[in-house]
Structure 1
Amino acid sequence: MNTEQEDMSNYKFLFKTVQASAIRTLIEALKEILTDVNFEITKDGIKVIAMDSSHVSLIYMKLLAENFEKFYCEKPIVCGISIVRLFKLLKSMSPNDSLCMFITNMEPNDLQIHIETSEKGLRHKFSLKLMDLYLDKVEIPPAQFSSVLRIPSGDFQKLCRDMNNLGDELEIKSSGNQLIFSISNDWMEQETIMCESNNGGMEYLQNLSPDEVIQGVFSIKKLVLFTKCTSLCQNIEVYLKNDYPIVIKYSIANLGEIKFCLAPKNND
């Protein structure tokens, strides 16, 4: 008798992970940009593709089933979830906690959440009502990016936070082997230059046209929201192309990845 199959027969979906703090950080970042979200779950993992209410930024997230301690999903399902409410339930999780989420066949409209602190013998159980949300299929056209860069996530966060105090719009420009961040308004100008470095600094992973200037102007406030994922990984990848959204990719610990796509201001 297959005990594992017998155990799973009561579930539509289940996952267990010890990366509870990574899930908490992920949901905290998502709640700043999205409100209610459809999570698409298959045997391969969990996926979110969604735009914010202003249709300026797009989120693409995938968590791979193979990277969880346990993952089960017999048939594809779509779960509508309030991100704000979900974060309220996950907010108290600590780094040493393990997390289990599941939906049973008996209660298909409820997401069950178990948070366990094994060294203290604690287990918190929550049940969150699922939502019936319209599934807006967002098609992401393939693109060849001119520049792809790796940047320390902490450096990018500090730069965005510092510049957020000075203006609303940030120009990001790739020229030669330099990445240039600049602000200009009626009372000041600032320019910060990142040069390619082999000592843990900025590095070009792809630079198809080093003689071409690749640039765009973006909302600093939106970029600051994206940097809430900083603790998930040491480095981010930034994808640049003229007249195209900037794409910023974070690894979600070792569970998967999230990409933030932000339209340039001059395309609004």
Structure 2
Amino acid sequence: MAFQAHLQQAGLLRKVVDSMKDLCKDVNFDCSEKGLQVQAMDSSHVALVSLMLRESAFSDFKCDRPTSLGMNVDSLGKILKMCGPNDSLKLQAKQDADVVSFQCESGDDDRIADFDLKLMQIESEHMEIPEQQYKVIVKLPSSEFQKICRDLKEFGETMQVKASKEGITFSVQGDIGAGNVMLKPRESDKPEEKVSLTVHEPVTATFALRYLVNFAKAAPLCGVVELGLGPDAPLLVKYDLEEAGNGHMQFYLAPKIDE
């Protein structure tokens, strides 16, 4: 086997795939001894999805040589739907194979489902994501970020994000009017209820809301979402995969530059 991995909770991979299926059609899962990585642009080249699922997230992980597994995200989602949230999942691919096999086992080992998914040759250029020094880093509950994006999407297509030491304001102007939601920093013992801002300088930037709504669908991955903002820089939306040691899912979105 060139690659084999065992994930105790199939639900983790399912949430990952659900959060990218509206953005990317076909992606390469790059396997190395570090884990599984994905870097993919959406079809309009406005958004970038970057996944790092570390080998430490798996109970067993073996990759003899770096290999790329090209998969259709929708088909992968269909396979993972068959796994219950507590099922474990084994992934295997032989060297130069044209399929990757999935084996789903229920917690009591009384139900085992097997699938082979045909691999695809996907042309993809590897993008180096430059290390950004963000002027503003905001951490907020991912459920709250999801609600703000969904609510404001009803009013317009573009969202302005304005961050300063006082807090972060999400604003939309549309045909029926304008709306703002402001979140001020707040303390809580639970990280998933806290809002914190690190502000080196205030930033205001504008983004297409439909992408943010898609990014916010990754909320089930982690109770906290991190936003990175800089002047004229892509927005970073980052989720840990349940916990930081498992890796992360990052989305980048190019700002809308006023014509």
TM tier, smaller = over 0.9
| Distance in structure 2 (CA, Å) of the matches to 1:158 and 1:27 | 21
Say which of 177, 195, 201 aligns to 1:202: 195
Deviation at 1:142, TM superposition (A): 2.0
Q: Are 1:257 and 2:248 an aligned pair?
A: yes
SS of residue in 2 equivalent to 1:113: strand
**AA of the residue aligned to 2:256:** K
**AA of the residue aligned to 2:252:** C
Check the 8 A contact 2:155/2:175 in 1, yes or no: no
| Distance in structure 2 (CA, Å) of the matches to 1:163 and 1:253 | 27
SS of residue in 2 equivalent to 1:49: strand
Residue correspondence of structure 1 range 220-231 to structure 2 within 5 A: 220-231=209-220
| Distance in structure 2 (CA, Å) of the matches to 1:76 and 1:197 | 44
| Distance in structure 2 (CA, Å) of the matches to 1:30 and 1:102 | 22
Check the 8 A contact 2:35/2:55 in 1, yes or no: yes
| Distance in structure 2 (CA, Å) of the matches to 1:126 and 1:139 | 33
Q: Which runs of 5+ in 2 are unaligned?
A: none
| Distance in structure 1 (CA, Å) of the matches to 2:72 and 2:258 | 30
| Distance in structure 2 (CA, Å) of the matches to 1:170 and 1:42 | 38
Q: Are 1:91 and 2:84 an aligned pair?
A: no
Deviation at 1:171, TM superposition (A): 0.5
Check the 8 A contact 2:3/2:62 in 1, yes or no: yes
Check the 8 A contact 1:79/1:130 in 2, yes or no: yes
**AA of the residue aligned to 1:223:** L
Say which of 214, 223, 233 aligns to 2:222: 233
SS of residue in 2 equivalent to 1:21: helix
Residue correspondence of structure 1 range 170-185 to structure 2 within 5 A: 170-185=159-174
- State the percentage of identical aligned residues: 30
**AA of the residue aligned to 1:258:** M
Q: Structure 1 runs of 4+ off > 2 angstroms?
A: none
Residue correspondence of structure 1 range 98-137 to structure 2 within 5 A: 98-105=88-95, 108-119=97-108, 121-137=110-126
In structure 1, the residue matched to 2:41 is 51
Deviation at 1:176, TM superposition (A): 2.4
Residue correspondence of structure 1 range 59-74 to structure 2 within 5 A: 59-74=49-64
Deviation at 1:120, TM superposition (A): 5.8
Deviation at 1:196, TM superposition (A): 0.6
Say which of 239, 245, 266 aligns to 2:257: 266
Deviation at 1:228, TM superposition (A): 1.4
**AA of the residue aligned to 2:50:** Y
In structure 2, the residue matched to 1:150 is 139
TM-score between the two structures when normalised by the length of structure 2 = 0.94
Residues 267 and 55 of structure 1: CA distance in aligned 2, closer, same or farther (over 3 Å): farther
| Distance in structure 1 (CA, Å) of the matches to 2:59 and 2:216 | 27
Q: Are 1:13 and 2:3 an aligned pair?
A: yes
Larger Cα Rg: Structure 1 or Structure 2? 1
**AA of the residue aligned to 1:201:** K
Deviation at 1:104, TM superposition (A): 2.1
Say which of 240, 243, 247 aligns to 2:232: 243
| Distance in structure 2 (CA, Å) of the matches to 1:203 and 1:162 | 22
Check the 8 A contact 1:252/1:258 in 2, yes or no: yes
Q: Which runs of 5+ in 1 are unaligned?
A: 1-10
Count of aligned pairs: 253
| Distance in structure 1 (CA, Å) of the matches to 2:258 and 2:122 | 29
Check the 8 A contact 1:19/1:253 in 2, yes or no: no
